[in-house]
Amino acid sequence: GKKDEGPSYAFVTNGVASFWDIAKSGAEAAGQELGVDVTVLMPNGVVEQKQMIEDLVIRGADGIAISPIDPDNQTEVINEAAAATNLITADSDAPKSDRMFYLGVDNYEAGRMCGQLVKEALPDGGKVMIFIGRLEQDNAKRRRQGVIDELLDRSMDPTRFDPPAEVLKNDKYEILGTLTDQFDRVRGKQNMDDTLTAHPDLGCAVGLFVFNPPLILESLKSAGKLGQVKVVGFDEADETLQGILDGHVHGTVVQNPFEYGKRSIEILHALNQGDTSVVPEDGFINVPARQIRKDTAEAFWADLKSKLGE
Amino acid sequence: MSALLELRGIEKRFSGVHALKAVDLHVDEGEVLALLGENGAGKSTLMKILAGVQRADGGEIRVGGEVRSFRSVAEALEAGVALIHQELNLAENLDVAANVFLGREPSRWGVIDAARMHREAGTWLKKAGLEIDPSTAVSELSIGRRQQVEIAKALAVNARILIMDEPTSSLSETETRKLFDVIRDLKASGVAIIYISHRLGEVQEVADRVTVLRDGEKVGDLDKEGISHESMVRMMVGRDLDAFFPRRQGEVGEPVLEVDGLRTLAFPAESMGFSVRAGEIVGIAGLVGAGRSEMLQAVFGVDRRLAGEVRVGGRLVRGGSPAEAIAAGMALVPEDRKRDGLVLEMGVGENLSLVTLARDAFPGGFRRGSAERQVEKEMGEAMRIKTAGAGQAVGRMSGGNQQKVVIGKWLAMDPEVLLLDEPTRGVDVGAKHEIYVLMEALAERGKAVVFVSSDMVEVLAMSDRILVMHEGRLGGELSREQASEEAVMALATGGKL
Amino acid sequence: MKKTLGVLMVFVAVCLAAIGLSDVFLSAGNIERLLLRIGLFSILAIGVSFVIVTGGIDLSIGSVVCLVGCGLPWLLVEQGWSVGLTLTVLFLVVGLIGWGHGMLITKLKLQPFVVTLCGLLVYRGLVRGVTGDRSLGFGSEYESLRQLAQGELAPSLLLGVLAVVLAGVAVYGWMKERRFRAGVVASSVAAGLAVLGAVLLRQSEFGVKFPFVILMVVAGLAGVFLNLTVWGRHLLALGNSEEAARFSGIATDRLVIVSYILCALLAGLGGLLIVLDVGSAQPSDFGNFYELYAIAAAVIGGCSLRGGQGAVIGVVVGMALIQVIRNLIVLVIPKYQNLEFAVIGVVILLGVIGDEVFKRLAEKRRRLT
Amino acid sequence: MKKTLGVLMVFVAVCLAAIGLSDVFLSAGNIERLLLRIGLFSILAIGVSFVIVTGGIDLSIGSVVCLVGCGLPWLLVEQGWSVGLTLTVLFLVVGLIGWGHGMLITKLKLQPFVVTLCGLLVYRGLVRGVTGDRSLGFGSEYESLRQLAQGELAPSLLLGVLAVVLAGVAVYGWMKERRFRAGVVASSVAAGLAVLGAVLLRQSEFGVKFPFVILMVVAGLAGVFLNLTVWGRHLLALGNSEEAARFSGIATDRLVIVSYILCALLAGLGGLLIVLDVGSAQPSDFGNFYELYAIAAAVIGGCSLRGGQGAVIGVVVGMALIQVIRNLIVLVIPKYQNLEFAVIGVVILLGVIGDEVFKRLAEKRRRLT
Ligand SMILES: Nc1ncnc2c1ncn2[C@@H]1O[C@H](COP(=O)(O)OP(=O)(O)OP(=O)(O)O)[C@@H](O)[C@H]1O
Ligand SMILES: Nc1ncnc2c1ncn2[C@@H]1O[C@H](COP(=O)(O)OP(=O)(O)OP(=O)(O)O)[C@@H](O)[C@H]1O
Ligand SMILES: [Mg+2]
Ligand SMILES: [Mg+2]
């Protein structure tokens, strides 16, 4: 029972990953600051995500932020929850739903930023392989598509989808494919190992989920190819940042999970206090993605560490 | 007039064994045909073919003159053929009534008429000589009682042709008598019965005709007049067995096995004490369910003792694990050889050396292959175990040969005290004789031998002393001179001498 | 019955704890959702208990859930098939899968664990390959079909159903085992009253979703089948001793095959209802681990993996227990949500240990009298 | 031996196919990695085969892998424990886990499936709870410890090991069953020559990672234990018939407990090596499903889930088969990577079906002679 306690807010992720650890720290930091109760839940799959949202509504959460796994098909659950409490989406949007607004990056754009990094790393073109946890979720699809479209110099079209089974190329870049690991790290590393075997002339490996770049680095290290194959990452795992400093990773695109968590809670609290000024006109609060290269890595990492209280 | 049942030229091969070679057989209405043969002769196989459990490789089955071929048990039942299996086959999770009617439950629209089933089951059970509540769980019954349930189950089929494959192997005198009454009734109502048994006394009593198999071949028939112990033995074994029960006059020495104040889980209120001397053979008699097996198992330590002391050669043997009993020189040949006696998937050699393996091992626990092979050779010869080639799984061997493997396993460790629970259950005359000789030889060498048996003849002939159990109690003790069928029966049913 | 009583007691205890710990546990909305979840998942558990009764196991349930759960939106939305055709084809395929398992297990004598483990790998693998591993869903279409999972029954109708079920349970308990009659009747009535109370208290918006109603029907049929019919009896017998059943003239192979078909079909039904409820499915994880939940529920509900023992009511209560625990954790201690599995594991373990200890004590008492 | 021969043949066939389909399959780097993976995962499979031989099962392997895999970086990096203390504590805990399983199974007579299913839920749940569900890793530290998984042995040393193993296999096959002597010797020599050839062809950068060497040692010890010692025989006997073993004075309970402890310890060893190799771990999914791979490898390698049958070499070959298939898919048809599970499932199924059919044919032939 929570009757006479203060307001409580919840953040529902789209899975369990270290990316969300950072968001959790952000949300909890906001909770401490505001003196409110904050819960971060990490479901496995849509079924569990639905159940968690339902249970949170029943529990009487005063505001919920979620990162929907399959936004197009989760409209109902989101609407139901939105009818009961303040609801925003973070990290991944559900534009067709009644969510109040979306807070996060445009994953397609972030993907294109990542693509730019690949172009920088491989100015003369070459073979590129994409590694990702899984492809089903919306942000993954868009992020990957952004990378591909940027490399192939295609127009901006976030709705495009190239099946993972196809080899895509233009005169410079050959995208060999997209390998998923379903969050199994051993698999993730093996995917890179086998790619190195099959394509000794691999130019660049792109790791799109937070744990992918570190696995790519592990694999390169054990193959003695560190520095020979370019690596472009996504998100800010410690190993990735260290890799940038060491010169083994060309760069990474960081979202701002800490901000996702922190600002979600702050905004939900404001809404709960009746302050509607926080609602953006266009329904989108952009927490822009950034490219981190060797020159910016150190400062970024120091800042991150201080935020996480390390 | 053609016979009710006629088998012609039945053939059956298993891998490595030609189990049936062109066997002919026939039975008439109201006739009791005894089917005899040594262990592994092919009796059970023939009957399984007849009951639709297995299919013949060749030959013809005629029921009432009509050629039939049973592809399943259901078809055989349909044709009026029922089989009481040699090994128990009951669903232990169900109650007695459900087992009696298994596969033929009285029902309406698929819904079981439980009340009717229990009522009728009660009647059949009574006929089979078992007066228990039909809603008793089968798992709570002793082996002998389970065999009676099997009998009731077969009776309830109302078969025209009823096959009994060693129905009395776990039954004692009283229950056997009741079965014979049933057989007489069935006979009178025109049922044809095929009766398989290794107790030749019974055969003499009930059979109208005898057919003998040897090594999968039919060796001949005996008609009512020709049936005698000697003639049957000669036909089965191919020679006379002299001195079927070896006579004994060894010296009896000091007590080797002493049991005092023993209480078991089956009868927690009763306590027992007895002792057995070196060179002595003690028989333990009693009705089915009297607690004999339970007593041996508690002495040996496979079952927990509630109280009591067991000493071997004066040394206390703690209960709770057979390993200690073995270390003290005890051996137990269990009643249920398939479950407790043998590792069915393993070969003869592996089974024979199971107990001695650790003793003979190299330092560091490595197995000594030479010792294993020696045990296999020695015991194989001593017990005259017949196999269908090296490496044959014991589960595939005939019942008698399996029993020899179990006994051989224990003899290999050269025990001081040998406990045997129904050692000749399902064993043919030849092998029985060999087992008797073995028991005798052990006693001769100053070992203590205790055996539980439901075969009255055997108990009377082989024991120096008979202990009779009744409902978990030692009801009395008979010396060789006092021993008689009447005396044993009196004590077993709770009476006094 | 005895075993069912044990899990029922644990369940009641957990529910009481839930009522004490959370003031929204008994709210109409929560009960409604709980019943929905119990409905969805118990269907799987009942399916697997048929197989468990035969002494087998089915590890492919989660993948069959995935097959139907992903196949439905894929065929309807992406391939544009009609609802009728899609359902027919899906359930034919699922039936064939069950039949295939049964055939491999009975005719080729392969081990159920191995056969269905391969099933687990193959069906999900195929779905992933065929659908190209993409997210599938209904968007905002097929609303009428989705009513199958989302529609509600009025409380009055529910009460009727409940009454019938309770009566059935009571009668069954009475017929089956007199010693436990009292306990069963008492606890069924208590459970009934609890639900009734909850309903009356907040009758306002309360409604029972169809999956729970479907579960009631499935459970009722399964209970009758297993406990009262000849085939159920035969299933129990063959689960204990295949030989004993075969030697009694029972067509054991056919029965085993039927039970695998039933299990697959119920898994398919569960998958159908779950995807209709959730509206979206990802081939790579939809239904993941559901077989383990289903098996766990069956086991705490009184089925023995050695075969020959089954109890439909117990299985439903077992699954209800799991669902209430999950619900409770999110309601009361969401911070420790990642301990959820540990809690469920511990409760299951305590349940089976308690059961065993209880059985031993009873045995001892019986022996001493 | 017979069963081992079957899976060996399939394995050789798949390898030949791989050589034909991919020109990099035999490259030093690939072989090196394959051996590493075979090493890492076969250790788990050998562990579970001890339990399977007793007629039991261990579903908690994946969670034990998670426990050690996450516990190691957590204790070292986050809690700052020393390496020695961490390893001691972890393996003590894992040993206790195995002991607990064994005790519950032997003394309380609970079903192995249930006990270890609870283990599966509880250990991972606890790790998730305790570590707060966050990613754990070594960063760039603990390089020397990580050498345990990443270090290499020179080819010459490998050849020595290989030769010894081959000789062992040959001698064993010769002693065990004369009829299959020829087959075993031939195929071992063939396999040896193949590896030898591969090595000589590209001796340049070839080295064998320690996990494979550790596997060789573990497999050697396990093979000796199971086939040559008294306890191994006792284990087989009790797997076939617990009662008969108990009546023969074998301390069945103790043996069963030991086999669960061994299984847990080997799972822990596997988890240790895996995390040292990969460098990071996420509590929610590290080791997920590994028990199923391990069990599958054990089964295709010739262990029967009914107990009483085991074959260490077969188990290793079984796991090698799985790993080669995975490798092959990524090398040759990466676009169908999501069909991987389906392919593995089909191969396992074909393997066991082939085995059964082969056995039946042999039986038939024997009958007709
Ligand atoms: N399933 C089987 N597979 C292989 N061989 C078998 C099988 N069943 C029986 N045999 C063999 O067939 C032969 C006949 O066995 P059967 O059981 O019919 O003998 P029996 O006359 O009934 O013997 P007993 O008196 O010991 O019961 C034996 O050699 C036995 O080993
Ligand atoms: N597994 C069991 N579970 C419960 N009770 C049992 C079990 N086995 C035997 N009993 C009971 O223990 C008592 C003694 O059985 P026991 O087997 O020792 O008798 P027995 O004299 O050897 O008879 P039999 O000739 O039938 O084997 C019987 O009353 C029986 O009902
Ligand atoms: Mg026989
Ligand atoms: Mg007895």
Tokens of residue B481, six digits? 């001179």
B170 CB less than 6 Å from ligand 2?
Answer: yes
| C137 φ/ψ angles, rounded to the nearest 5 degrees | -170, 180
Size of interface B-D (CB pairs under 8 A): 81
B307 to chain C, any CB pair closer than 8 A? The answer is no
Taking the alpha carbons at both ends of chain B, their separation in whole angstroms is: 53
Q: What is the C-alpha to C-alpha distance for residues C153 and C162, in angstroms, rounded to an integer?
A: 12
For B200-233, the pLDDT digits (tens) are 888 988 999 999 998 888 988 888 888 888 888 8
Subunits adjacent to chain D (3 or more Cβ pairs under 8 Å): A, B, C
- CA distance to partner chain C, nearest, from residue D296 (Å): 7
Q: What is the C-alpha to C-alpha distance for residues C86 and C269, in angstroms, rounded to an integer?
A: 13
User: Do C111 and D344 count as a contact with CB atoms less than 8 A apart?
Assistant: no
Question: What domains, with CATH codes, occur in chain D?
Answer: 2-154+207-368 (1.10.3470)
pLDDT recorded at residue D120 = 94
Give the distance (Å) from ligand 1 centre to CA of residue B386: 11
Give the residue from chain C lying closest to D288, CA to CA.
C289
Q: What is the C-alpha to C-alpha distance for residues C276 and C270, in angstroms, rounded to an integer?
A: 10
User: Do D247 and B357 count as a contact with CB atoms less than 8 A apart?
Assistant: no
Tokens of residue B418, six digits? 């040998």
Give the residue from chain D lying closest to B342, CA to CA.
D244
Strands (E), B368-458: 417-421, 448-452
Report percent pLDDT > 90 for chain C.
Answer: 36
Cα angle A113-A116-A119, degrees, rounded to a multiple of 5: 160
Q: What is the C-alpha to C-alpha distance for residues A129 and A168, in angstroms, rounded to an integer?
A: 11
For B141-182, the pLDDT digits (tens) are 888 888 889 889 988 988 889 999 988 888 888 888 888 988
| CA D223, chain centre distance (Å) | 13
Domain boundaries, chain B: 3-237, 242-329+415-497, 342-405
- Residues 6 or more apart whose Cβ sits within 8 Å of residue C366: none
B140 CB less than 6 Å from ligand 2?
Answer: yes
* Alpha helix ranges (H) inside B198-304: 200-206, 229-237, 292-300
Backbone angle region of C94, left / alpha / beta, with phi > 0 → left and psi within -120 to 50 → alpha:
alpha
Are the beta carbons of D254 and D29 closer than 8 angstroms?
A: no
B/e letters for C12-45, b = 16+ CB within 10 Å, e = fewer, are bebbeebeeebebbbbbebbbbbbbbbbbbbbbb
pLDDT recorded at residue B192 = 92
**pLDDT per residue as tens, chain D (369 positions):** 456 777 888 888 888 988 888 888 888 778 888 888 999 999 999 999 999 999 999 999 999 999 999 999 999 988 989 999 999 999 999 999 999 999 999 999 898 988 999 999 999 999 988 888 878 888 777 888 888 887 777 666 666 666 666 666 666 655 655 545 555 665 666 666 666 665 655 555 667 788 988 998 899 899 889 888 899 999 999 998 899 999 998 999 999 999 999 999 999 999 999 999 888 888 888 898 899 999 999 988 888 888 888 888 889 999 999 999 888 887 887 777 778 889 889 988 888 888 788 778 877 776 666
- CA distance to partner chain D, nearest, from residue B360 (Å): 9
Q: Tell me the chain B residues in contact with residue D243 when contact means C-beta distances shorter than 8 Å.
A: 339-340
The SS3 assignment for D199 reads helix
Q: What is the C-alpha to C-alpha distance for residues C90 and C97, in angstroms, rounded to an integer?
A: 11
B/e letters for A106-140, b = 16+ CB within 10 Å, e = fewer, are bbbbbbbbbbbbbbebbeebbbbbbbbbbbbbbbb
pLDDT recorded at residue D192 = 66
Residue ID of nearest Cα to ligand 2 atom 9: B142
The SS3 assignment for B36 reads strand
The ligand whose atoms approach the alpha carbon of B142 most closely is 2
Beta bridge partners of D152: D209
User: Do D125 and C306 count as a contact with CB atoms less than 8 A apart?
Assistant: no
Beta bridge partners of D25: none
The SS3 assignment for A127 reads strand
B334 CB less than 6 Å from ligand 1?
Answer: no
Unique residue bearing structure tokens 């069954």: C172
Beta bridge partners of B418: B331, B449
C201 to chain D, any CB pair closer than 8 A? The answer is no
Taking the alpha carbons at both ends of chain D, their separation in whole angstroms is: 23
- Residues 6 or more apart whose Cβ sits within 8 Å of residue C54: C235, C238, C239, C255, C256, C259, C307
Q: What is the CA radius of gyration of chain D?
A: 21
Kindly list the distances between the CA atom of residue D142 and the CA atoms of C127, D269, D276, in Å, as whole numbers in the listed order. 42, 17, 9
The one-letter amino acid code at B44 reads S
Q: Which atom of ligand 2 is nearest to the CA of B421?
A: 22
Computed over every residue of chain C, the mean pLDDT equals 84
User: Do C241 and B89 count as a contact with CB atoms less than 8 A apart?
Assistant: yes
Give the distance (Å) from ligand 3 centre to CA of residue B293: 23
Tallying the residues shown for chain C, one arrives at 369
C245 to chain B, any CB pair closer than 8 A? The answer is yes
The ligand whose atoms approach the alpha carbon of B265 most closely is 2
pLDDT higher than 70, residue C369:
no
B/e letters for B435-454, b = 16+ CB within 10 Å, e = fewer, are bbebbbebbeebbbbbbbbb
User: Do D245 and B409 count as a contact with CB atoms less than 8 A apart?
Assistant: no
B356 CB less than 6 Å from ligand 2?
Answer: no
Model confidence, pTM: 0.87
pLDDT recorded at residue C179 = 47
The SS3 assignment for B256 reads strand
B298 CB less than 6 Å from ligand 2?
Answer: no
Computed over every residue of chain B, the mean pLDDT equals 87
For B467-489, the pLDDT digits (tens) are 999 888 888 889 888 888 888 88
**Could you count the other beta carbons within 10 Å of the beta carbon of residue D236?**
22
Q: Please determine whether the domains at B3-237 and B242-329+415-497 fall in the same fold group of CATH.
A: yes
Q: Do chains B and A touch (3 or more CB pairs under 8 A)?
A: no
The SS3 assignment for A92 reads coil
B40 CB less than 6 Å from ligand 1?
Answer: yes
Most confident among A85-89, C192-196, C354-358, D60-64 (mean pLDDT): D60-64
Q: What is the C-alpha to C-alpha distance for residues B40 and B22, in angstroms, rounded to an integer?
A: 16
Tokens of residue D233, six digits? 């025989």
| B249 φ/ψ angles, rounded to the nearest 5 degrees | -145, 50
A168 to chain D, any CB pair closer than 8 A? The answer is no
pLDDT recorded at residue C313 = 87
B462 CB less than 6 Å from ligand 2?
Answer: no
Q: What is the C-alpha to C-alpha distance for residues B301 and B283, in angstroms, rounded to an integer?
A: 20
Q: What is the C-alpha to C-alpha distance for residues D70 and A25, in angstroms, rounded to an integer?
A: 20
pLDDT recorded at residue D2 = 58
Assembly ipTM: 0.85
Are the beta carbons of A133 and A181 closer than 8 angstroms?
A: yes
Tokens of residue A278, six digits? 């926080």
- pLDDT averaged per 10 residues in sequence order, chain A, 310 residues: 69 84 89 90 85 86 89 85 90 86 87 92 91 82 91 86 81 88 82 86 91 90 86 89 91 90 91 84 84 89 82
Tokens of residue B456, six digits? 């009255």
pLDDT higher than 70, residue C246:
yes
Q: Tell me the chain D residues in contact with residue A195 when contact means C-beta distances shorter than 8 Å.
A: 330, 334
User: Do C331 and A59 count as a contact with CB atoms less than 8 A apart?
Assistant: yes
User: Do B334 and D247 count as a contact with CB atoms less than 8 A apart?
Assistant: yes
Strands (E), A122-194: 126-132, 168-169, 173-180
Size of interface B-C (CB pairs under 8 A): 82
Are the beta carbons of C77 and C275 closer than 8 angstroms?
A: no
pLDDT recorded at residue C118 = 93
Give the distance (Å) from ligand 1 centre to CA of residue B398: 4
Q: What is the C-alpha to C-alpha distance for residues A195 and D337, in angstroms, rounded to an integer?
A: 12
Residue ID of nearest Cα to ligand 2 atom 8: B142
Q: Tell me the chain D residues in contact with residue A185 when contact means C-beta distances shorter than 8 Å.
A: 278, 280-282, 285-286
Report percent pLDDT > 90 for chain B.
Answer: 23
B439, B445, B447, B450 alpha-carbon torsion, rounded to 10°: 20
Burial of D16 (0-12, 13-18, 19+ CB in 10 A): exposed
| CATH number corresponding to B242-329+415-497 | 3.40.50.300
- Assign domain B3-237 to its CATH superfamily: P-loop containing nucleotide triphosphate hydrolases (3.40.50.300)
pLDDT higher than 80, residue C4:
no
B69 to chain C, any CB pair closer than 8 A? The answer is no
Q: What is the C-alpha to C-alpha distance for residues D311 and D3, in angstroms, rounded to an integer?
A: 8
Burial of B42 (0-12, 13-18, 19+ CB in 10 A): buried
